[in-house]
Chains A and B, each alone.
Chain A
Amino acid sequence: MKPAPFAYARPTDLASAVEALAGNADAKVLAGGQSLVPLLSMRLAAPAMLVDINRLPDLDHVTSDASGVRVGALARHAAVLADDEARRIQPLLALALANVAHATIRNRGTTVGSLVHADAAAEMPVVLCLLGGSVDVVGPRGRRTVAAADLFLGPLESSLAHDEIAVEAFFPALAAHTGVAFREVARRHGDYALCGVAGLVRLEGPRIAEARAGYLSVSDVPTVIDLTPALSSSESLSDEALAAAGELALAALDPQGDIHGTAAYRAQLVRALTARTLRAAYDDAGRRREQP
């Protein structure tokens, strides 16, 4: 349970970090390390080099404006969760972050690191996808913005090039007449979820104009599904409409069984959590309309 030896660089500016990363084809970025270090300790990964970005300046920001919330690569989950302005601009962030492991892990783990780790069982990638956010990356070819839809390629696989460093994530603000919710079921509080759902509902008058949900742990990549067709015909949110939304979601997902739960159980979680999450997001939208 000890990591294999690796070369170590701790640059103090971004250009040097990119240079170090580009100089070794088997180098990995170390930020919070809450996912990476277990992989190293269990020797599921043994990179030749770690580029520790914890000393890079000006990357621990959480800044919010009317357009959304920007989270720097060294902002810890705990800092994002505690940021009142971020919670106001995009409440889904805090709702989901409260489900990310335990407080002790959130003190060290970074939100941006969780995104580019690209674990389909993690909360923040789903949130980024549902909101249509993006990640800014810097590499030898300069800075570029990667949309959430283009970020997640497969299990633990992001579309970042090996010599690129994610420096900032952007989570768009909550739109008007919109509500959000997050629900997950884990075998123990703080564990990886067996299934988790982030939901978003937008109202036009009494009618549901848009309903989408993002799913974690029931597909290889965080998956967002448009559930509007199941709900838009109903004036209020009926149980039948919510059940139809669950079936619509399942048609696009492929829950797998494992030691923690069967495929059938995970499918049932998709149905149940779809209904609960959409109901909560719908209620949230209604509340926000009454309290502008």
Chain B
Amino acid sequence: MTEELHEVHLVVNGVPHDVAVPARRLLSDALRHDLGLTGTHVGCEHGVCGSCTVLLDGAPVRSCLLFAVTASGSAVTTVEGLTDADGSLGPVQQAFKDCHGLQCGFCTPGFLTTITAGLRDNPCPTHDEAREMIAGNLCRCTGYQNIVSAVERAAELIAGTGESV
């Protein structure tokens, strides 16, 4: 049986894409398989781990809990879209590097997108707010301390108050 295909239009990291996918294609799979953007990682695939978090029209969402066809017409930002225009690390990425906020790196794309949106909404989080910001993302390596530090470091970098390392 061949499944019916649906035309899906997505603007991913500023680049428009048109793909034809079955209705059951998850946005996470459309990004990875159909568009080749493998920066978005798929962990639990039922909304618990947060690895697949992308920004949908600016708001963080689980791309594994969304069908690509539902998202058609939306703007999506993936981890590939977080670098600066010249290809250098964006502030949240730089903060993770500065603070050793990752080890195996599998969960990192979800953290980076979540924190990017979190700091946009709350540019100067308290320590507790920094923890709350990442509460929906699981990391099995780091013990989270360095990720919390990276949130606070990223806030400094964005505010332009961080000292260069």
Contact = CB atoms under 8 A, between A and B. Distances in A.
Contact of B67 (A37, A104, A189, A190): A37
B50 A104 contact: yes
A78 interface: yes
Q: Which of B23, B26, B135 has the most CB of A within 10 A?
A: B23
Interface string B98-114: 00000000000000001
Contacts of A104: 50, 53, 60-62, 114, 136
Contacts of B158: none
A42 B50 CA distance: 17
A103 B53 CA distance: 12
Given A1-B45, A37-B47, A103-B136, A7 B62 contact: no
Q: Which of B4, B24, B50 has the most CB of A within 10 A?
A: B24
Interface in A1-34: 1-8, 10, 30, 33-34
Contacts, number: 87
B63 to A, nearest CB: 10
Contacts of B22: 5
A6 B136 contact: no
A5 B29 CA distance: 15
Nearest to B58: A107
A50 interface: yes
Main secondary structure of the interface of A (DSSP, over half): loop
B70 A52 contact: yes
B24 A190 contact: no
A37 B47 CA distance: 9
A248 interface: no
A41 interface: yes
Nearest to A102: B136
Contact of A108 (B1, B4, B65, B135): B65
Contact of B46 (A5, A42, A50): A42
A38 interface: yes
A105 interface: yes
B79 interface: no
Nearest to B71: A54
A104 B24 CA distance: 21
B61 A41 contact: no
Given A10-B69, A30-B70, A33-B66, A2 B136 contact: no
Given A33-B66, A189-B135, A41 B46 contact: yes
A78 B135 CA distance: 16
Contacts of B66: 33, 37, 108
A190 B136 contact: yes
B30 to A, nearest CB: 12
A101 interface: yes
A107 B3 CA distance: 30
Contacts of B20: none
A34 B45 contact: no
A8 B45 contact: no
Closest 6 CB pairs of A and B: A102-B136, A8-B23, A38-B46, A1-B45, A3-B24, A107-B59
Interface of A: 1-8, 10, 30, 33-34, 37-38, 40-42, 50, 52, 54, 78, 101-105, 107-108, 189-190
30 contacts: A1-B45, A3-B24, A5-B24, A6-B23, A8-B4, A8-B69, A33-B70, A34-B62, A37-B64, A37-B67, A38-B47, A40-B24, A41-B46, A41-B64, A50-B23, A52-B67, A52-B69, A102-B136, A103-B60, A103-B118, A104-B53, A104-B60, A104-B136, A105-B65, A105-B136, A107-B61, A108-B56, A108-B62, A189-B135, A190-B135
